[in-house]
């Protein structure tokens, strides 16, 4: 019997499309007895790829066996994207033989010593604002802000600093929305401090991001004490990445400190301990208290007993992300969907048959695009292995079915042990939850073809305005699609 598979993928980012692409590639349409495959991708955003305008997955999206449903939040919890329609996950079960959770990590982690407030917010809120993310509700009062403190030493922290310090005329050439540019034009920010609890060797930003920040026009890096840079390695064997980072930090920014109006700093070995009102004689509203740290033998940050503080106008936390809770499949300690080798399990360790997780939803917010691809491919190989074990066919290639290389065997006791059946092995290959079809008819659900038209229109509008692209809001995109579909 030729295997049959109909997959619902929750999430429309890179992991989802890497997985979909591999499934389609392993069953070429030219095969005579190829497995019957259907793939439906659901995303709470109306655009695929996480609003990143990439054409990497166009070939997969053109395959008639793949359908994209945008502006659909598959969750029992309403989405922060207010216009997205909500569909409980269990409503997908009767329509699919397989389920892949690839929704990423979208919930920012806060520092335990810092409570969210008007003066302390997740950096993700700022990122959502300047990328015109549909979940954005925050417009920073930049005309009132001079000093920003960013907690975290990752790429997001550098990206936030670059956006806040970049000359507006530089940003005008890219895809920054006009509404964002108008706010940045009024900005009073003259310094961004990037603060982390460990040293340069433990920083997670890449040399590419750091180099771009070092070369940012109109800004200069505050000198980093030689003792911090020279003592950081402590005799450790450095990787190529660490060596290049140290060299960049030792060289400093292209502009000499003191020669520019805007500055930035990277503060190592500092950990927040709290926020309080600044003294009345301070020019800033809040005081950020910091514990000085050092690395123990395991290179973990431990307090030295010393403390200091920074008076600032706004604190942004950039400390990583966790997946959104998914019923009793969620592992709160790790912030991921509980899984073993991609197979989702419940709190009792029982396998949810044909339910899988990939990407950051499964591994946590770590790794780059290449590692996301490898993980997605590995999970697809596991899906195929399980499918073959269940069908008993041992399909391995040629014209007889799935064209795979070596695939991992089912994990011990994972399929023969206690399992839970949630999905429908006999689901109709064309069926979709009725409420989604109804919303599609009303224009509340986007498909991939809609997105391609919007993508081309955004590029056209951007070219007319002399920039990379002009992003549309949901209302603009929906109106545009309604117009072109008449």
Q: What is the pLDDT of residues 223-248, one digit of tens each?
A: 999 889 876 556 668 889 899 999 99
**Which range has highest mean pLDDT (106-110, 182-186, 384-388)?**
182-186
Residue predicted with more confidence, 388 or 346: 346
Pairing, β 4-10 against β 36-43: parallel
Domains of the chain: 4-106+322-446 (3.40.50.720), 110-319 (3.50.50.60)
User: DSSP letter string over 22-48?
Assistant: HHHHTS-TT-TTPPEEEEEEEESSSSS
At 229 the three-state DSSP class reads helix
114/238 Cα distance (integer angstroms): 33
Q: What is the pLDDT of residue 56?
A: 62
Q: Is the pLDDT of residue 172 over 80?
A: yes
Q: What is the pLDDT of residue 269?
A: 96
Q: Is the pLDDT of residue 436 over 60?
A: yes
Q: What is the pLDDT of residue 52?
A: 53
Report the candidate in 229, 228, 246 with the shortest Cα–Cα distance to residue 238: 246
Token digits of residue 315: 């604190």
Cα–Cα distances (Å) from 294 to 150, 234, 266, 304, in that order, read 20, 12, 16, 6
Q: Is the pLDDT of residue 400 over 70?
A: no
Q: What is the pLDDT of residue 398?
A: 38
């Amino acid at each position: 019997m030729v295997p049959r598979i109909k997959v619902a993928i929750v999430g429309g980012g890179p992991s989802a499309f890497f997985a979909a692409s591999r499934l389609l590639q392993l069953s070429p349409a030219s095969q005579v007895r190829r497995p019957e495959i259907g793939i439906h991708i659901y995303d709470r955003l109306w655009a695929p790829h996480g609003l990143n305008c990439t054409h990497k997955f166009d070939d997969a999206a053109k395959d008639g066996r793949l359908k994209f449903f945008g502006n659909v939040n598959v969750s029992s919890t309403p989405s922060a994207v207010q216009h997205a329609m909500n569909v409980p996950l269990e409503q997908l079960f009767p329509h699919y033989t397989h389920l892949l959770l690839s929704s990423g990590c979208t919930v920012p982690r806060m520092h335990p010593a810092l409570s969210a407030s008007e003066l302390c917010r997740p950096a993700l809120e700022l990122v959502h604002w300047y990328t015109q993310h549909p979940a954005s509700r925050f417009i920073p009062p930049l005309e009132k802000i001079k000093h920003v403190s960013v907690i975290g030493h990752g790429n997001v922290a550098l990206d936030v600093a670059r956006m806040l310090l970049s000359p507006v005329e530089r940003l005008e050439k890219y895809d920054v929305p006009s509404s964002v540019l108008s706010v940045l034009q009024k900005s009073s920010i003259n310094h961004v401090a990037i603060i982390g609890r460990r040293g340069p060797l433990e920083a997670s930003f890449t040399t590419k991001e750091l180099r771009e920040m070092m070369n940012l026009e109109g800004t200069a890096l505050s000198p980093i004490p030689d003792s911090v840079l020279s003592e950081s390695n402590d005799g450790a064997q450095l990787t190529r990445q660490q060596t290049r980072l140290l060299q960049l930090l030792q060289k400093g920014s292209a502009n000499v400190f003191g020669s520019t109006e805007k500055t930035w700093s990277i503060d190592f070995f500092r950990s927040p301990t709290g926020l309080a009102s600044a003294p009345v004689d301070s020019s800033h509203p809040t005081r950020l208290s910091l514990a000085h740290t050092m690395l123990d033998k395991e290179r973990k940050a431990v307090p030295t007993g010393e403390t200091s503080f920074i008076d600032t106008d706004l604190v942004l936390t950039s400390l990583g992300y966790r997946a959104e809770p998914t019923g009793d499949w969620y592992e709160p300690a790790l912030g991921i969907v509980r899984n073993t080798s991609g197979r989702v399990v419940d709190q009792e360790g029982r396998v949810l048959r044909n339910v899988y997780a990939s990407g950051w939803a499964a591994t946590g917010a770590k790794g780059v695009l290449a590692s996301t691809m490898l993980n997605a491919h590995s999970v697809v190989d596991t899906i195929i292995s399980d499918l073959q074990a269940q069908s008993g066919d041992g399909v391995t290639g040629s014209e007889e079915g799935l064209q795979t290389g070596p695939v991992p065997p089912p994990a011990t006791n994972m399929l023969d042990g206690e399992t839970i059946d949630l999905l429908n092995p006999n689901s109709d290959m064309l069926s979709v939850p009725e409420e989604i079809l109804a919303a599609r008819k009303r224009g509340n659900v986007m498909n991939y073809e809609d997105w391609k038209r919007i993508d081309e229109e955004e590029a056209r509008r951007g070219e007319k305005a002399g920039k990379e692209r002009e992003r549309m809001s949901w209302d603009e995109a929906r109106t545009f699609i309604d117009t072109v579909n008449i």
